[in-house]
Amino acid sequence: MKCKRFRIEDLRNEEWFQFYTEFKTLVEQHNPGALNIEALFATFLSLYAGADEAIELIRKSATTEQLAEADHARDIVFRGFADAVKAGLNHFDPIRREAARRLKIVFDHYGNIARKSYDEETASIYNFIQEIRTSYAAEIQTLEVYDWVNILEADNKTFDALKQTRYTEGAGKTGLRMANIRRETNNTWRDMLDRIDASMLLNGEAPYAPFVNALNIRTDHYIDILAQRKGRAAKKKDDTGKPE
């Protein structure tokens, strides 16, 4: 019997922290002293506290009131633009009706962009604007909705600049701190597993088996998460020719 290992570095921050939360609870239930990892676990607890703080800062860095307001502003413009095109479908001028019909195809393709996550919406609006400006310039001119395009682009750039500023000022430093904490925590975790494996060889498996079995079950769950993600990425690459 041995403690299972895996590439914990591949977990995303939230997954990584959740794994160590479960690990921490499990060690406390089985007593770090009885597992012969008391000193290492104390180091781990200090790193875990730092990770908890860093993750909370990362969560907050991209969800400020200013970002929410800027996102709301571009959402309103996008919906207004969609309504303007929809209204054009009922225009008395058949040329304008046809322009509106063609533009609506683009809107239908992108869906409700305003419901997407911050980063997805920023990218979608950028792609949306590039497409209608290059492929539907005549329709924009005919329907006289170029002001909507310009305002939507400006609002999207304002949002993105604000988000990047927030990351530069705070999340960048926090992200670096998180990377360092992750590396140190992973090393300490592996040292604890090595100590437990060595103790089983020295003292027999029986005192450690309940902990190791419970830990390995949890480890398998996270191994499955990474395997599923790898499978989805491989499928997407096969479908599009590009990695996820």
| pLDDT band with cut points at 50, 70 and 90 for residue 219 | very high
DSSP-derived 3-state class of residue 230: helix
Contact present, 102 and 142 (Cβ < 8 Å)? no
Tell me what pLDDT residue 161 has.
86
66: closest CA among 118, 26, 30? 118
DSSP-derived 3-state class of residue 142: helix
DSSP-derived 3-state class of residue 206: coil
Contact present, 102 and 139 (Cβ < 8 Å)? yes
Burial 135-145 (b: 16+ CB within 10 A, else e): ebeebbebbeb
pTM: 0.55
| pLDDT band with cut points at 50, 70 and 90 for residue 200 | very high
Tell me what pLDDT residue 242 has.
47
pLDDT digits (tens, 9 = 90+) for 91-137: 999 999 999 999 999 999 999 888 888 889 999 999 999 999 999 99
pLDDT digits (tens, 9 = 90+) for 31-81: 999 999 999 999 999 999 999 988 877 666 555 677 888 999 999 999 999
